[in-house]
Every structure is written in C-alpha cells, then in structure tokens.
Amino acid sequence: MRHKTSMLGKYGRSLAPLALFVVIVLLWEQAPTVFKIPEFVLPKLSRVLSVFMDARTISTFVDNALVTLTEALVGLIIGGGLGLVVGVLLSQSSLMMVTFYPYIVALQCMPKVALAPLLVIWFGFGLTSKILVVALLCFFPMLVNTITGLRSVTRENLELFKAIGAPRTATLSHLYIPAALPNILTGLELAIVVSLLGAIVGEFVGAEKGLGVLLVQAQFQMNIPAVFAILLILVVLGLLFSLSVKYIRQRLLFWIPQESKSFKA
Amino acid sequence: MGSNSIIELDAVVKNYATAQGSVPALSAVTTTITQGDFVSIVGPSGCGKTTLLKMIGGLIDASGGKIVLRGTQVTGPRDDVGFVFQGAVLLPWKTVMENVLLPIQVKRRVTEKDRARALDLLDTLGLKNFERRYPHELSGGMQQRVSICRALIGDPSCLLLDEPFGALDALTREGINVMFNQLWRTTRKTVMLVTHSIQEAVFLSTRVLVMSKRPGEIVDDIKIDLPEERLPEIIGSSEFGALANRIRPYFTKLAMD
C-alpha cells in the first residue's frame, strides 16, 4: 500500500509542475480577453509569441542576444576567474587575508550595479563597460565562496598532507582546490545568475546593442508584446546558464553522496 | 643502546600552552624500540600517548628531550615513517588506488611499478578489485585498510598507528587484527600502535608500554611472549589472560585516582 502511494506521489510530483505550466499558459492566453486587460498592460500569450514569427525581428533578437551573451560570459570568466584566483591567493597568506578582507567585505556590501553609470562614462558604450559591470558582479560571489571552501579543509586532512611531506603546491592542487570545489561551484551558480543581470542593467545605462537596449527601445515604443518576447528570451538564457552549471556540478561532484548534494545557495 | 634499535626516545617532554600557562602532557619518556618489534602503547585517555606517537612521526615538535629514528634526530615528517590516523582520512574525490598512491603523487610522477605495488598492498589487505571504488562506497573497516596501504606505499621502515581500529565494531576489529598480524609477520616492519584496547595490544604486540595519566610517563614495559602467529583462539589461552590481567590493574587504578 505504502509503495503504491509513494509511486503515485512520484508520478504526481513530475506532473504537478507540468499542470501548472498548462494553467499559466491558459490563463495568460485567456485573462486579457476575459478581464479586458489592455494590451499595453498584458498582451495575450499568442500575441507575444507572434513577435517571433517575423524573420527580421528574429535576426535582430539573435544579433542583440549574442551581444548580451558575450558580455555576460566574458564578464563571468574575467570576474569569476579573478574571484577564484584572488580567493586562492588570499587564503595562502594570512597577512594578505587580514589586509584585504575587510575591504572586500565592505565592497561586497555596496550595490555594485550602482557603478554602471560611472563605468559607461569611463569605458564608453561598447562591450567593455558592460563586461566590467558583469565582472564586478561575478567577482564577489566567486571570491567569498572560494575562501569559504578553502577554509573547509579539515585539520585531519592537513595533518595527513603534513605526514606525507606534501609540498605546498601539491597540497593546494590535491587537497584545497578539490575540497573547495562544492563551494566554488556554488559561487559559480550565484555568479552566473548575476552575470545576465549585470549585462542587462549595463545596457540600460548605456549601450549600442544588446537585449537591454532592445527592451528599453520596445518600452519607449510601447511595444509591450516585444517587451514580453525579450523577457521570454532572457528566461530561456537564464535557464540555460543555470542548467549548465548544474551539469558541471554533477560531473565534478560525483563523489558527494546524493542526499547532501542538494545544498543550494 | 643496542645496535638493532630503531627508535630512541631520550627524556621526551611535551608541554601545551594554555590560557592558564604551560600544561605538561608528557613527562620525560625514555625508551628504545628494537627493529622489527611490534610495540603497543596503552594508557588512559589524555595520557599523551597520541602526542608521543605524533612526535615520533614528526607531526608535532617535542618541548624537550630527543627523538632519534634510525640514527638521525626527528625534526619533521619523514619518508621512512608511515602514519595511520584515527579516522581513515581518505580523500573522497579520489579512488582507492589514487588514495593509496597519494604520498607518491604529491612528490613525483607515479610509475607503473608504484601501481603494481599499490595493487599488491591492496591484495594483501583483502581489498583486491576495490582499486577503482571511491571511499564512500567502502565500509569503515575497508577504509581504514586503504589508509594502511597508503601508509605502506613508500615502504617505510616504521609504521605508526594512532588508534586506527577504535571506530570499528568488535568483529571487524578482530578480523583486521588477524590480518594486521599477518602483515607484520611478512613485512617485518617496526610498528608502534596506540590503542585503548588491552586485548588488541596483547594480541598484536611483542611489547606493551603502559602509560600513566597526564602528565604521561611509562609505568610498565611488558614483553608479550606469545608465538608470532596470532590467531583468534589465542585470546582464550591462559598466557593471554595472564598478560591482559597484568595490564588491567593499571587502568582500574588509574581510573580510580
């Protein structure tokens, strides 16, 4: 009996989100007509999807999405990479740690996107300013999580590496980095979310191309179906980003037993 | 001191600095360990036996006295010593094979010969065909045996074990003890074992050092005159019982103090 209910539960579990999806789609399609919501507030889903029916619009979307993607990914690699490297360097020297850490914490508390206007003035309307906004946003979650991860190395493990006479570099590559990997990947997960955010906000402030620019243009033209269409693209991009980190996580952290793997940030 | 002595302890002292000042953990331990001996150190919790073992292994510094291993003073961890910790301390992201080879891997390129030796050791400790597994797939007893292989991979002349079987259930422990006795007889390594178990100490050793409670010092030095091959039956013998009974009063007395 118990077995049967749990089977049903499992079945229901995978069906429930699908059912909700259908409900949302139907509501979105019907609500504007039923409740007489004007198009500039909430266009029907079919109206939003019809935006994608035009070949020229699609190529504009693709063009601009590629710009936003480039900004997000390059910024993520630079900012995240720096966060990782600086985290490792700081953890290697307690003097560096006590010197820099207070400032890092202080900077982290500040809303980094507020720097976007300044960065646009300094680096112009091209890719650079947006990449820097993204890098700035991605740097901190990677740095903080890398440091947390490196600190999670146990005393027993350090004693083992001392006993086998491991040189510093080997201790780093065989102990610290793998031990910190769960946290580093959590940092990456957080960084990847803010990377798109940074690119879009940067584009709002000042840019020639990008989904953020399209969004503002559509808003000015009161082309609300286009606004929703761009938002849909962003949802898909965000999902792809976070799914790819999940995939990397599963590949790299195979050694963590399943139950404890889901400690999400 | 005899020419076949391998470890010489000369008035070894350890003090720990605390907020209340310096606290002695070990007071003037002096003894000589003969090559090929199996020496167990027993004593109440906190008597400094683990501290003593870690000082011999070069993991912590002595506050005073001298520790000489194979003719040279111990100043840090050395390749001629293998250390087995209380927990198995295996790296969960490495396979059994990679864990065993770790002491080599951190220093130089692993060769085919190293791999063959690792497989050989795993085979000896009953872990044949487990080399590709990960630690979380193994039982506690198996994990500890992997860590013994890791301590032996560099072919040290001396093996130091810090309560390695303490966390295992009685049956697993007995099985490992029989296996470990066999390993000692075939490899002839000098072994020092810290243990809480009087039975384990008598079963495995050729010599048992009994330590007093903190600050620890050696209060008895017992030769275990049993045949080298130790099988579980020996535990019921009168000689075994007599030896265990000689050690036990120290524990009861120390516990009463």
Q: Return the CATH number at B216.
A: 3.40.50.300
Contact B12, B57 (CB under 8 A): no
**The pLDDT value given to residue A1:** 45
Per-residue pLDDT, averaged over B88-96, amounts to 93
What is the torsion angle, in degrees rounded to the nearest 10, for the CA atoms of residue B17, residue B20, residue B22 and residue B26?
Answer: -90
Q: Say if residue B191 is exposed, middle or buried (CB neighbours under 10 Å; 0-12, 13-18, 19+).
A: buried
Q: Which residue shows structure tokens 């005393």? A: A155
Do the Cβ atoms of B79 and A256 come within 8 Å? no
Whether B255 shows a pLDDT value over 70: the answer reads: no
Q: Which of B98, B99, B101, B106 is best to mutate for the A interface (most A CBs within 10 A)? A: B106
Residue A54 banded pLDDT, cuts 50, 70, 90: confident
Q: How many domains does chain B have?
A: 1
Chain B nearest CA to A57, separation (Å):
48
Chain A hits for B138, Cβ within 8 Å: none
Q: Given CB atoms, is B93 within the 8 Å cutoff of chain A?
A: yes
Record the pTM: 0.81
Is residue B251 a part of any domain in this protein?
yes
Is residue B14 a part of any domain in this protein?
yes
Residue range(s) defining the domain that contains residue A78: 62-253
Chain A nearest CA to B109, separation (Å):
12
Buried b / exposed e over B5-23, threshold 16 CB at 10 Å, is bbbbbbebbbbeeeeeeee
Domain with residue A148: its CATH number is 1.10.3720.10
CA angle B152, B4, A160 (to 5 degrees): 25
The total of other beta-carbon atoms located within 10 Å of residue B1's CB is: 9
Do the Cβ atoms of B77 and A164 come within 8 Å? yes
Residue B152 banded pLDDT, cuts 50, 70, 90: very high
Whether A236 shows a pLDDT value over 60: the answer reads: yes
- Nearest CB among B93, B106, B134 relative to A164 is that of B106
Given the cut 0.90, state whether the ipTM is greater than it. Answer: no
Strand order in the sheet with B5-18: B21-34, B5-18, B64-69, B72-73
Is residue A37 a part of any domain in this protein?
no
Whether A76 shows a pLDDT value over 70: the answer reads: yes
- Nearest CB among B78, B87, B103 relative to A156 is that of B87
Is residue A18 a part of any domain in this protein?
no
Do the Cβ atoms of B85 and A160 come within 8 Å? yes
Is residue A172 a part of any domain in this protein?
yes
Is residue B16 a part of any domain in this protein?
yes
Q: Any idea which of A34-43, A123-132, B48-57, B193-202 has the lowest mean pLDDT?
A: A34-43
* Averaged pLDDT of chain B: 88
d(CA B11, CA B28): 4
Is residue A222 a part of any domain in this protein?
yes
Do the Cβ atoms of B59 and A161 come within 8 Å? no
Whether B135 shows a pLDDT value over 70: the answer reads: yes
Do the Cβ atoms of A159 and B85 come within 8 Å? yes
Q: How many domains does chain A have?
A: 1
d(CA A91, CA A116): 30
Mind listing the pLDDT tens digit for each residue in B207-251? 999 988 878 888 888 888 888 888 888 888 888 888 988 888 887
Is residue A31 a part of any domain in this protein?
no
Percent of chain A scoring above 70 in pLDDT: 93
Residue A44 banded pLDDT, cuts 50, 70, 90: confident
Residue A263 banded pLDDT, cuts 50, 70, 90: very low
* Averaged pLDDT of chain A: 87
Do the Cβ atoms of A257 and B79 come within 8 Å? no
Mind listing the pLDDT tens digit for each residue in B30-75? 899 998 999 999 988 778 888 899 999 999 988 888 899 998 989 8
* H/E segment holding residue B106: none
Q: What are the residues facing B131 on neighbouring strands?
A: none
Contact B145, B176 (CB under 8 A): yes
Interface A-B: count of C-beta contacts within 8 A: 51
| Phi, psi for residue B19 in degrees, rounded to 5 | -60, -30
Q: Which of A155, A159, A160, A256 is best to mutate for the B interface (most B CBs within 10 A)? A: A160
Per-residue pLDDT, averaged over A76-104, amounts to 90
Q: What are the residues facing B197 on neighbouring strands?
A: none
Which B residues 144-203 touch A at CB under 8 Å?
Answer: none
Per-residue pLDDT, averaged over A31-48, amounts to 85
Whether B18 shows a pLDDT value over 80: the answer reads: yes
Is residue A11 a part of any domain in this protein?
no
Do the Cβ atoms of A163 and B77 come within 8 Å? yes
Do the Cβ atoms of B105 and A167 come within 8 Å? no
Whether B122 shows a pLDDT value over 60: the answer reads: yes
Q: Are strands B38-42 and B81-84 parallel, antiparallel or unpaired?
A: unpaired
d(CA A239, CA B129): 42
Residue range(s) defining the domain that contains residue B43: 1-80+160-167+190-257
Is residue B152 a part of any domain in this protein?
no
**The pLDDT value given to residue A37:** 85
Is residue B114 a part of any domain in this protein?
no
Whether A264 shows a pLDDT value over 50: the answer reads: no
Chain B hits for A162, Cβ within 8 Å: 59, 77
Residue B184 banded pLDDT, cuts 50, 70, 90: very high
**The pLDDT value given to residue B27:** 85
Per-residue pLDDT, averaged over A132-137, amounts to 93
Do the Cβ atoms of B77 and A161 come within 8 Å? no
Whether A175 shows a pLDDT value over 90: the answer reads: yes
Instruction: Name the residue among A184, A177, A216, A181 with its Cα closest to residue A68.
Output: A216
Residue A176 banded pLDDT, cuts 50, 70, 90: very high
Do the Cβ atoms of A161 and B103 come within 8 Å? no
